[in-house]
Structure 1
Amino acid sequence: MIDKLLPLPIRAAEAFEDDPLTAMFPEERALVAGAVPQRQLEFGTVRRCARTALSELGIDPAPILPGPGRAPRWPDGIVGAMTHCAGYRAAAVARARDIVTLGLDAEPNKPIDDPGVIDLVTLPGERTQLPRLAALEPDVAWDRLMFSAKESVYKAWYPLTGRWLGFEDAHITLDPTDATFTARLLVPGPVVAGTAVEEFSGRWMVGAGLVMTAIVLLA
């Protein structure tokens, strides 16, 4: 499913269930040794997905450990992103010569029940979109899709800046006509190839009980 969202030369892999026999490197296992079994399973499975995707780029298996900001530390010359939620794990990678950065997120296609959470993760201008979008496509959890888009923004942003980006620091506009979205940065963006990035463009899709978003910034 994820291949429909990400263009070549990105390589991706996904899993809809965990395999208890998935092997982890000792360094990875140590990071989740004290976690509940479900957390250990999802941690291992998403890294299995990442290694599968990396193998398509000719990268040998190695530990994938968190770096600053908990972002994955990828092999030299590689950019990537991972995501996991209930019933789904995925990873996407590419060579840095082709892709500057990418963000990826998946969430259950279920509305956010708590209005307080919606207020926390969205801006007033973003919330005004939701009733119109729900009227167009009531089967899409648009508030959850908005949240997913912000998660993808952060995952694309952090490797370029090494800085935190709050939910209030980007304004998302969802386009239902072509399944795209725009994230307008409300804080100074990173400079890439001499040009300041003021917004990210992304794509979204719905399927298998999930909403998924992705941002790809080409080199």
Structure 2
Amino acid sequence: MLSPVGASALLRAVLGPGPAVRELRGQGNPSNLVGPEVQVVARAIESRRREFAAGRSCAREAALETGHDLGPLLSGPTREPLWPSDLVGSITHCAGFAGAAVAPATHWRGLGIDCEPARPLPTELIGAILTARERFTVAQLRESEERPWERIIFSAKESLFKTWFPLRRTWLGFDEAEVALQPDGTFQAEILVLDTGPHPRTVFGRWRIDRGLIVTGLALPAP
């Protein structure tokens, strides 16, 4: 069932004040795609077309809050959204949820949001995604509260990549960043590669669990 795009208290909670945020609960409608966006997912399966449409609808509504009529939002070679030069933004979607955050590039240099199902990460993936220090942190957190901690860290790294890639145009591996997760809904992420370029080495973000979803986010103010 299609739900209208609306304001997102969940994304606001993980990003804080400033960026415009919108979410859609339910399925996107491919008929809402604009111009050449249709061709981006023309050969995709129906579920992919719907999630793509949901994210683009959220992005357009968020951009309007900043005074921008976004128009078609195409994708780059790694499926990243190609934002206009005067905007920064981030899109996320998983089953039943899509969200977007948009802000003027004059005030923000990067936004990263990610949503994941609030379920444990498959055991076979933990060693590839979490560093030894992160696994130790998870073991400590689990002593006081049972949460899908590994997947929260995975989501935080996904949000971090969404701020990293537009600034550096290079891949950032899961072992090239380390997340210090706190049970109060915050995290600190440190990039471990030698050259971080214009991206800060250490960034701070927030996480929330709501209605079966993990959502993480971080926002980088302009210098």
TM superposition score normalised by structure 1: 0.92
Following superposition, the deviation at residue 160 of structure 1 comes to 1.1
Q: Measure the CA separation in 1 of the matches of 2:173 and 2:185.
A: 24
CA-to-aligned-CA distance 1:129-185 (integer Å, 9 cap, x gap): 1122123221x2111101001101100111111111000100111011x31111111
- The yes-or-no answer on 1:218 pairing with 2:221 is yes
Contact 1:188 1:198 in 2 (8 A): no
Following superposition, the deviation at residue 68 of structure 1 comes to 4.3
Q: Measure the CA separation in 2 of the matches of 1:58 and 1:147.
A: 33
- The yes-or-no answer on 1:103 pairing with 2:106 is no
Contact 2:112 2:219 in 1 (8 A): yes
Change (3 A) 1:190 1:168: same
Match of 2:137 among 125, 129, 134: 129
The equivalent of 2:170 in structure 1 is 163
The equivalent of 2:208 in structure 1 is 205
Structure 2 unaligned residues grouped into runs of 5+? 1-9
Q: Measure the CA separation in 2 of the matches of 1:189 and 1:47.
A: 33
The equivalent of 1:37 in structure 2 is 46
Give matches, 1:117-196, under 5 Å.
117-138=125-146, 140-176=147-183, 178-192=184-198
Q: Measure the CA separation in 1 of the matches of 2:63 and 2:35.
A: 19
Following superposition, the deviation at residue 123 of structure 1 comes to 1.0
**Secondary structure at the residue paired with 1:70?**
coil
Following superposition, the deviation at residue 25 of structure 1 comes to 1.6
Structure 1 unaligned residues grouped into runs of 5+? none
CA-to-aligned-CA distance 1:87-111 (integer Å, 9 cap, x gap): 2100001001111111110101000
- The yes-or-no answer on 1:72 pairing with 2:78 is no
The equivalent of 1:53 in structure 2 is 62
- The yes-or-no answer on 1:91 pairing with 2:100 is yes
Contact 1:22 1:45 in 2 (8 A): no
Following superposition, the deviation at residue 51 of structure 1 comes to 0.3
The equivalent of 1:4 in structure 2 is 13
Indicate the larger mover: 80-89 or 64-73.
64-73
Q: Measure the CA separation in 2 of the matches of 1:218 and 1:61.
A: 22
Contact 2:15 2:205 in 1 (8 A): no
Read off the aligned partner of 2:220 and give its amino acid letter: L
Q: Measure the CA separation in 2 of the matches of 1:189 and 1:70.
A: 24
Change (3 A) 1:185 1:52: same
The equivalent of 2:7 in structure 1 is none
Indicate the larger mover: 162-171 or 11-20.
11-20
CA-to-aligned-CA distance 1:55-95 (integer Å, 9 cap, x gap): 11111141111124322111221000001111210000100
How many residues align? The count is 213
